[in-house]
């Protein structure tokens, strides 16, 4: 923490005061010229959102980030503090971060007039220059702007016409800082109107006070397009005062989605050492979100947050951790059957349309997992024909015939890895299919691919899949028995 100094010492140090817009702009330019990363951790935005953010900052604009839930809008806003100077000098004791060069509160003006160059100066770290408020219907003008404090007036024996009786709200206290209002459409229209002068003229009005307070604030707003119809809207004059509106979006590839999940999910070193999550499992997990975003059962206007994948990965790891505890084992690998544990993460993160409500949240979640498995399967293995000609073999004929001999395969949720491998290895045609079409995969990935084949066959009604609280069972179906028979 920086030590306090006097106003005279600050002048002698050569400090040059800048507005927050100039500060952000000049620090951005310096980072770009030094080839330093400006906005870290915003995967997939490098060529879309980030260039627009840079232009908005260079323009000195207030910013409205418009996008569906889970598109890193708040993360973007919080990233901007890294473009601020490490420390900012203020008149010591000021409630609104008064600059000693241009004090705006009566407290700071009086103190500087009294002490001049001996005025004490304290420092505010950049981490304390970020203010955030979630817009809810109960937010009022006093919360954001301020109000008259009768207790202060009585204590100081001052009339209500004296500026010193004012209690400053969050916005004046964020002077020379970044102020974020999340979910702006939720803010009542009359409250949005109170922001007009602050954004355009930089002053505030409290209870009719003739108060000119040129606040210096970088505003960032976030909004969900769906909110415009569901809960409220951004009033037109306020939108007109916001310089740049930037649209965010979901990751457009599985690889980018995996980077986001890996960045946001935090696991201990012990968990990482005990549990292996192979790449195909990570791919499948992200595919669930991609399937949800295009599903006819899910409300696309509401969006499917990136938090779905994050929560789902945490559930997957928890399922593996539980298996380790129950089997007293030291290591395990994520299995496809573990994906049933992500259903609670899915049901809590999607909004269903009428058809989805009729199906039920859990059924839709199961369907999304199946669709993800199907998509992954079709990118690796030959397609499964819905109708086959009798006597014409397919890549899966021998495997389906194996199950039609009244044989079945059980995969227990809590079985040890040794038992899990032994059970899958017992289905020889299954391993042959994986070895044929995935010859270069690592040994610890083979069993996950074997499960993918089983699930795909069950999804296509070539096998019957039965789920209990403790295991999954695969066996021949009556439909496939007609074509493949039994040995």
* Helical ranges in 250-331 per DSSP H: 254-264, 269-274, 279-294, 307-327
Q: How far apart are CA 52 and CA 317, in angstroms?
A: 37
Asked if residue 233 and residue 189 are part of one domain, the reply reads yes
Domain end point (choices 378, 411, 429)? 378
pLDDT tens column, 129-181: 999 999 888 888 888 888 777 777 777 777 766 777 778 889 989 999 999 99
The answer, yes or no, to whether residue 321 has pLDDT greater than 50, is: yes
- Which of 317, 318, 311, 334 lies closest to 261 in space, CA to CA? 311
CATH of the domain at 140: 3.40.50.300
The answer, yes or no, to whether residue 387 has pLDDT greater than 90, is: no
Asked if residue 105 and residue 34 are part of one domain, the reply reads yes
Domain-located, residue 234: yes
Asked if residue 236 and residue 119 are part of one domain, the reply reads yes
Mean pLDDT of 271-286: 93
Mean pLDDT of 294-315: 92
Confidence bin at 207 (pLDDT 50/70/90): low
pTM of the model: 0.85
Asked if residue 313 and residue 238 are part of one domain, the reply reads no
At residue 388, the pLDDT reads: 65
Q: How far apart are CA 354 and CA 299, in angstroms?
A: 9
The answer, yes or no, to whether residue 231 has pLDDT greater than 70, is: no
Q: Report the 10 Å Cβ neighbour count for 472.
A: 21
pLDDT tens column, 53-74: 999 999 999 999 999 989 999 9
- The pair of structure tokens assigned to 124 is 């505010």
- What dihedral do alpha carbons 225, 226, 232, 234 form, nearest 10°? 0
Q: Which neighbouring-strand residues pair with 89?
A: 123
Asked if residue 170 and residue 47 are part of one domain, the reply reads yes
C-alpha dist (Å) from residue 52 to 64, 213, 219, 443: 11, 31, 16, 45
Asked if residue 173 and residue 152 are part of one domain, the reply reads yes
Asked if residue 307 and residue 192 are part of one domain, the reply reads no
Q: How far apart are CA 221 and CA 365, in angstroms?
A: 33
Residue % of the chain over a pLDDT of 90: 67
Asked if residue 97 and residue 43 are part of one domain, the reply reads yes
Q: Which neighbouring-strand residues pair with 220?
A: 63, 180
Asked if residue 184 and residue 50 are part of one domain, the reply reads yes
CA-based R_g, the chain, Å: 30
Mean pLDDT of 296-324: 93
Domain-located, residue 468: yes
C-alpha dist (Å) from residue 303 to 155, 322, 368: 52, 31, 15
pLDDT tens column, 402-412: 998 878 899 98
Mean pLDDT of 241-255: 94
Mean pLDDT of 231-249: 87
Asked if residue 328 and residue 242 are part of one domain, the reply reads no
Q: How far apart are CA 96 and CA 341, in angstroms?
A: 49
Provide the domain limits for residue 428. 397-484
The answer, yes or no, to whether residue 487 has pLDDT greater than 60, is: no
Domain-located, residue 387: no
Q: How far apart are CA 392 and CA 81, in angstroms?
A: 66
Q: Are 388 and 298 in contact (CB under 8 A)?
A: no
Q: Are 225 and 66 in contact (CB under 8 A)?
A: yes
Q: Is 406 left (phi over 0), alpha (psi -120 to 50) or beta?
A: left
Can you tell me which residue has the tokens 């301020």?
146
* Helical ranges in 186-267 per DSSP H: 189-193, 196-200, 227-230, 236-241, 254-264
Q: Are 381 and 456 in contact (CB under 8 A)?
A: yes
pLDDT tens column, 432-472: 999 999 998 998 899 999 999 999 999 999 999 998 888 89
Domain-located, residue 383: no
pLDDT tens column, 331-376: 999 999 999 999 999 998 999 999 999 999 999 999 999 999 999 9
Asked if residue 129 and residue 22 are part of one domain, the reply reads yes
- Among 128-137, 159-168, 226-235, 257-266, the minimum mean pLDDT is found in 226-235
At residue 143, the pLDDT reads: 86
Q: What backbone torsions phi and psi does residue 409 show, to the nearest 5 degrees?
A: -130, 130
Q: Domain tally for the chain? A: 3
Domain end point (choices 212, 247, 282)? 247
Asked if residue 303 and residue 218 are part of one domain, the reply reads no
Domain-located, residue 199: yes
Domain-located, residue 389: no
CATH of the domain at 339: 1.10.8.80
pLDDT tens column, 6-27: 999 999 999 999 999 999 999 9
Confidence bin at 392 (pLDDT 50/70/90): confident
Instruction: Evaluate the CA torsion angle 28, 29, 30, 36 in order and state its sign.
Output: positive
Can you tell me which residue has the tokens 């890294």?
82
């Amino acid at each position: 923490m920086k030590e306090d100094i006097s106003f005279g010492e600050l002048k002698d140090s050569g400090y040059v005061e800048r507005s927050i817009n100039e500060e952000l702009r000049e620090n951005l330019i310096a980072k770009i010229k030094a080839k330093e990363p400006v906005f870290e951790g915003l995967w997939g935005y490098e060529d879309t959102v980030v260039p627009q953010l840079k232009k908005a900052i260079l323009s000195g604009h207030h910013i409205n980030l418009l996008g569906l839930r889970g598109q890193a809008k708040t993360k973007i806003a919080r990233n901007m503090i890294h473009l601020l100077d490490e420390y900012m000098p203020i008149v010591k004791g000021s409630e609104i971060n008064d600059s000693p060069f241009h004090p705006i509160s009566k407290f700071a003006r009086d103190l500087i007039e009294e002490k001049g160059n001996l005025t004490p100066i304290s420092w505010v770290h950049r981490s304390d220059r970020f203010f955030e408020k979630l817009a809810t219907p109960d937010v009022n003008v006093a919360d954001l702007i301020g109000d008259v404090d009768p207790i202060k007036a009585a204590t100081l024996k001052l009339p209500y016409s004296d500026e010193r009786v004012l209690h400053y709200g969050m916005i004046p206290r964020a002077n020379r800082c970044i102020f974020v209002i999340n979910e702006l459409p939720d803010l009542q229209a009359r409250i949005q109107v109170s922001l007009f002068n602050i954004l355009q003229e930089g002053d505030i009005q409290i209870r009719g006070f003739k108060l000119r307070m040129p606040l210096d604030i970088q505003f960032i707003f976030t909004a969900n397009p769906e909110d415009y119809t569901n809960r409220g809207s951004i009033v037109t004059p306020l939108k007109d005062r916001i310089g740049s509106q930037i649209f965010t979006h979901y990751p457009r590839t599985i690889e980018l989605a995996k980077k986001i999940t890996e960045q946001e999910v935090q696991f201990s070193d012990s968990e990482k050492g005990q549990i292996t999550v192979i790449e195909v499992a990570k791919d499948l997990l992200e595919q669930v979100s991609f399937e949800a975003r295009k599903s006819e059962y899910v409300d696309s206007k509401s969006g499917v947050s990136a938090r779905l994948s994050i929560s789902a990965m945490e559930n997957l790891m928890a399922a593996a951790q539980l298996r380790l505890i129950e089997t007293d084992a030291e290591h395990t690998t994520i299995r496809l059957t573990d994906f049933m544990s992500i259903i609670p993460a899915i049901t809590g993160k999607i909004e269903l349309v009428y058809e989805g409500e009729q199906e039920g949240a859990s059924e839709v979640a199961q369907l999304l997992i199946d669709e993800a498995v199907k998509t992954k399967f079709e990118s690796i293995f030959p397609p499964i024909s819905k109708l086959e000609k009798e006597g014409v073999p397919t890549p899966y004929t021998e495997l389906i015939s194996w199950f039609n001999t009244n044989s079945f395969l059980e995969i227990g949720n809590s079985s040890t890895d040794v038992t899990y491998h032994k059970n899958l290895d017992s289905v020889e045609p299954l391993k042959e299919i994986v070895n044929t079409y995935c010859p270069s995969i690592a040994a610890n990935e083979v069993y996950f691919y074997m499960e993918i084949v089983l699930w795909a066959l069950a999804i296509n009604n070539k096998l019957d899949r039965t789920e209990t609280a403790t295991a999954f069972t695969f066996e021949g179906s009556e439909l496939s028995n007609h074509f493949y028979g039994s040995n």
